[in-house]
């Protein structure tokens, strides 16, 4: 069982996530893509952890999951707020930073 197969899987997921982040307009979907990215990271972490036989990877994977949970919570809350304010979750409707 190769180390690379996991890493590469991680890489593929990561890139798909990136693609999603860039392409998607709907906030919820963007958040999902971010989840993809995070998971790919987790897979890497665990793979290395197994390779080195140290538990650090696990620890941080856990942390990542926790952070992800928090992020999703806040993110969705923001989406809700946004939706409430402007009946839409299209990210390009967020034009505060537009020049």
Partner 1 sequence: MEVLSDHNWVLTVGTFLPLVGVLIMLFIPKADEALSKAVAIGTAAATLAVGVFTMVQFNYDKAGEMQFVAQAEWISVIKSSYFIGLDGISLPLYFLSMVITLLVMIYSWNHVPSPGNAKAFYILMLVLQTGMAGTFIARDLVLFFVFFELVLLPMYFMIGVWGGENRQYASLKFFLYTMFGSALMLVAFLALFFKTGAESFAIPFLIENGGAIAKNTQIWIFAGMFVGFAVKVPMFPFHTWLPDAHTQAPTQGSVILAAILLKLGTYGFVRIAIPILPEAAKEWAPWIGLLAVIGIIYGALGCLAQTDMKRLIAFSSVAHMGYVMLGISTLTSFGMNAAMFGMVAHGLITGMLFFVAGSVKERYHTLEIKRLSGMLVQMPKLGWILGFCAMASLGLPGLAGFWGEFPAILSAYQPAPGLNVTVFRVYMVVAAIGTVLAAGYLLWLYQRTAFGEPTEEFAAGHGHDEDIHDVNKFEWIAWTPLLIAIVVFGVYPQLMFQVLDPAVGVTLKAFGG
Partner 2 sequence: MLASDVLVAQNVGFAIIAVIMVIGALRVVTTKNVVHAALWLVVVLAGAAAQYILLAAEFLAVTQVMVYIGAVMVLFLFGTMLTRAQIGAEKDLNNKNGIIGLPIAVLLLATMLIALNDGFKAEKLSADAPLVSTQQVSDQIFGIYLLPFWALSFVLLAAAIGAIVLARRD
Partner 3 sequence: MFSASTEAAEVILKSGWFLENAFIIPIIPAVAFFLIIFFGKKMPMKGSEFGIVSMFAALVMSIGAAYQWIQRVNGVSEETYVKPIIRSWTWWQNDGVSLGIGQHIDGLSITILVVVAFISSLVQIYSTEYLHGDRRYTHFFASLTLFSAGMLNMVVAENMIQLILGWELMGLCSFMLIGHWWEEGANSRAALKAFFTTRTGDIGLLVGTSVLFFAANDWTQKTLGVSGFSIRGLSAWALSGDPSSAAITVGAVALFIACIGKSGQFPLHTWLPDAMAGPTPVSSLLHSSTMVVAGVFLVARVYPVFYEGMNIYGNSVNFIVLIGGVTIVIAAALAFVQNDIKKVLAYSTVSQLGYMMMGLGAGAWLPAVFHIFTHAFFKACLFLGAGSISHSASHHSFDMKKDMGGLRKFMPITFSTWIISTLALCGVFPFSGFFSKDEIIDNVGYAGYNFFMIVGLFGAFLTAAYMTRATYLTFFGEPRGAAAGEHHDDEHDAHASHDDHGHDAHGHDAHAHDSHAAHDSHDDHGSHGPRESGLIITVPLILLATLALGSGFLNAPAFGEKWENLKKWVEPRAEVVSVTGIAKPAGAHGETRLAAGSEEPVDDGHSEAADSGSHSKAEAGKDGGHHYSDCGSKTPVGGVCYAPQLKHAPFKWWKAGMSVGIVFLGMILSWLLCVQLYTRKNKKLVGLTERNKALGAGYSFLANKYYLDTLYEKIIVRSIAHPISRGAYWFNQNVLDGIVNGAGTSTRKTAGWVYRNVDQKLVDGAVNGAGTSAENAGGALQPVQSGKVNQYGALLFGAAAIGALVLVIINF
Q: Is 76 in the site for partner 3 (CB under 8 A)?
A: no
Smallest CA-to-CA distance from 28 within 88, 96, 97 is with 88
Q: Is 51 in the site for partner 2 (CB under 8 A)?
A: yes
The tokens describing 74, both together, are: 């806040």
The tokens describing 75, both together, are: 């993110």
Q: Is 96 in the site for partner 3 (CB under 8 A)?
A: yes
Q: Is 84 in the site for partner 3 (CB under 8 A)?
A: no
- Residue showing tokens 């809350």: 77
The smaller minimum CB distance to partner 2, of residues 53 and 99, is found at: 53
Q: Taking a C-beta distance cutoff of 8 angstroms, is the pair 25, 35 a contact?
A: no
Report, in Å, the least distance between residue 17 CB and partner 3. Answer: 10
The smaller minimum CB distance to partner 3, of residues 26 and 59, is found at: 26
What number of chain residues touch partner 1 (CB under 8 A)?
3
What number of chain residues touch partner 2 (CB under 8 A)?
73
In the chain the first and final C-alpha atoms are separated, in Å, by: 52
For residue 47, the tally of other CB atoms under 10 A from its CB is: 19
Q: Which residues bind partner 3 (CB under 8 A)?
A: 18, 21-25, 30, 91-92, 94-99
């Amino acid at each position: 069982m190769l180390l690379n197969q996991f890493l590469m899987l991680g890489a593929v997921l990561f890139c798909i996530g990136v693609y999603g982040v860039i392409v998607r307009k709907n906030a919820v979907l963007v958040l999902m893509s971010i989840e993809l990215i995070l998971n790919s990271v987790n897979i890497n972490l665990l793979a290395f952890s197994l390779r080195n036989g140290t538990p650090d990877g696990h620890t941080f994977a856990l942390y990542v999951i926790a952070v992800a949970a928090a992020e999703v919570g806040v993110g969705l809350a923001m989406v809700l707020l946004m939706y409430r304010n402007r009946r839409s979750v299209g990210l390009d409707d967020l034009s505060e930073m537009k020049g």
